[in-house]
Structure 1
């Protein structure tokens, strides 16, 4: 293994539910209607993709550009006191960074990725951070993982990816990476996709030991 690439939401930050709450509220405020499949459908989408989804599929009466601004502003407000970092996440990233180059490949916009890095002082440990906004397509397309590997100067097939949701797992697998799954308890990944992960972890803190076991 030549590098480790982490997803952010649901892997390092307990934010999947917050994204869901904020999007639901904004859609309701602007005349849209939430559907049963909306939450899972948007997991992994880039900002332009989920903004269009809120407008075109759920009927929110704003432009995609404006609804993206509103949602991200509210997420930033939620992060104002510090993002909800998952237990063990900071220590895990630091431990892994002592052995491997580390990157983040996230569907969050850069402003929220940077808020996490600043709050945790992990900027020095994370060599590369890529948002799906910076690539042609969000997850489950592999673009954000491929770009992270490119910026690290490492072949995608020599990277391990750490993911929690169905679309994230699919993206990392499509990039040809060795996938460590940390299933999100609130939004469990598809069982069939989960079986294709190289390793399934109970929590993020198990990662350093699992990497050592793989050699």
Structure 2
């Protein structure tokens, strides 16, 4: 798995932090405040989108007259404090610290808000593990387009084929592979298509603890 790998790139939501349920609850509440029932296919449709793209989608699908900026601001306010109390995926913090100790440069490639992710990492004391944070909004297109992963590798100064990506969604796995990178699927109980995600990926795990001894063995 780690042969010829020089850098690691991580998605954030559902890959490092257990946040997908939170975003579903936010969508339900946001729409309920406007008298709209949250449709069953919403999470599937917005998978991989940045917040600005989500706002455009919501405006179009639900006929909302609010500005993109006000919607993004409202979502950010609804989730911000809750993010500091979320659980992290099993073994993720140990794996990040071990990878850093072996000198792997690491980056984030996320659909979330840059400042929110930065503040959560800082609060957790692991901001120093990451050389950069790239977002879908910054590159202007959502996953499964490869742009956010290519931007992350560019900022790391590592060729795409030397990067290993950790993702939990099908759009993320596809985007990483379209960027020429190998992809590790990270199990998330809130997604109902694990078989499809794991089949598409190059590797798949239920816990980062599965990788710790493997990484140590690679460096022995």
Of 125, 129, 136, 2:129 maps to 125
The alignment's TM-score, normalised by the length of structure 2, stands at 0.89
**Given that residues 187 and 205 in structure 2 are in contact (C-alpha distance below 8 angstroms), is that contact kept between their aligned partners in structure 1?**
yes
Of 197, 206, 210, 2:210 maps to 206
Give unmatched runs, 5+ long, in structure 2: none
- Measured in 2, the distance between the counterparts of 1:210 and 1:40 equals 33
| 1:21-79 residue CA offsets vs partner (Å, 9 max, x unmatched) | 11221112124342221112212101111111122113445222211110111111323
The alignment's TM-score, normalised by the length of structure 1, stands at 0.91
Name the SS of the counterpart of 1:195 in structure 2: helix
**Given that residues 134 and 148 in structure 2 are in contact (C-alpha distance below 8 angstroms), is that contact kept between their aligned partners in structure 1?**
yes
Of 83, 88, 102, 1:85 maps to 88
**CA separation of 1:144/1:161 partners in 2, compared to 1, >3 Å: closer, same or farther?**
same
- Matching residue of 2:181: 177
- Matching residue of 2:71: 67
- Matching residue of 2:62: 58
- Aligned-residue Cα RMSD (Å) equals 1.9
- Matching residue of 1:143: 147
- Measured in 2, the distance between the counterparts of 1:61 and 1:6 equals 35
**Given that residues 44 and 138 in structure 1 are in contact (C-alpha distance below 8 angstroms), is that contact kept between their aligned partners in structure 2?**
yes
Name the SS of the counterpart of 2:48 in structure 1: coil
For this pair of structures, how many residues does the alignment match? 214
Give unmatched runs, 5+ long, in structure 1: none
**Given that residues 88 and 204 in structure 1 are in contact (C-alpha distance below 8 angstroms), is that contact kept between their aligned partners in structure 2?**
yes
Of 160, 167, 174, 2:171 maps to 167
Name the SS of the counterpart of 1:157 in structure 2: helix
- Matching residue of 2:98: 95
- Matching residue of 1:19: 23
- 1:213 deviates by 6.5
- Measured in 2, the distance between the counterparts of 1:11 and 1:72 equals 19
Of 28, 34, 39, 1:35 maps to 39
